[in-house]
Amino acid sequence: MSGKMCSGSSSSGSVVQAQKLVDQLQLEAGMERIKISLTAADLVRYCQEHRRSDPLLTGISASSNPFKDKKTCTLL
């Protein structure tokens, strides 16, 4: 008998889990989405507008680099 009780409780658990999944999928399906082509165009435009201040493109001067080693390594 205890086997039947366990299977009954696990099936109700799977029903609850399935209902949560359905609710999540319905929520995601109802979301308004932005077209990728518009987002990509915005990203390209932003990168072009800010390329002069991008340290990956222009580099960092040695005097203003906060990560530059302060001391050199000397071996005795």
The pLDDT tens digits for 39-61 are 899 999 999 999 998 888 888 77
What is the three-state SS of 26-67? HHHHCCCCCCHHHHHHHHHHHHHHCHHHCHHHHCCCCCCCCC
Q: What is the mean pLDDT of residues 3-26?
A: 78
pLDDT confidence band for 1 (50 / 70 / 90)? very low
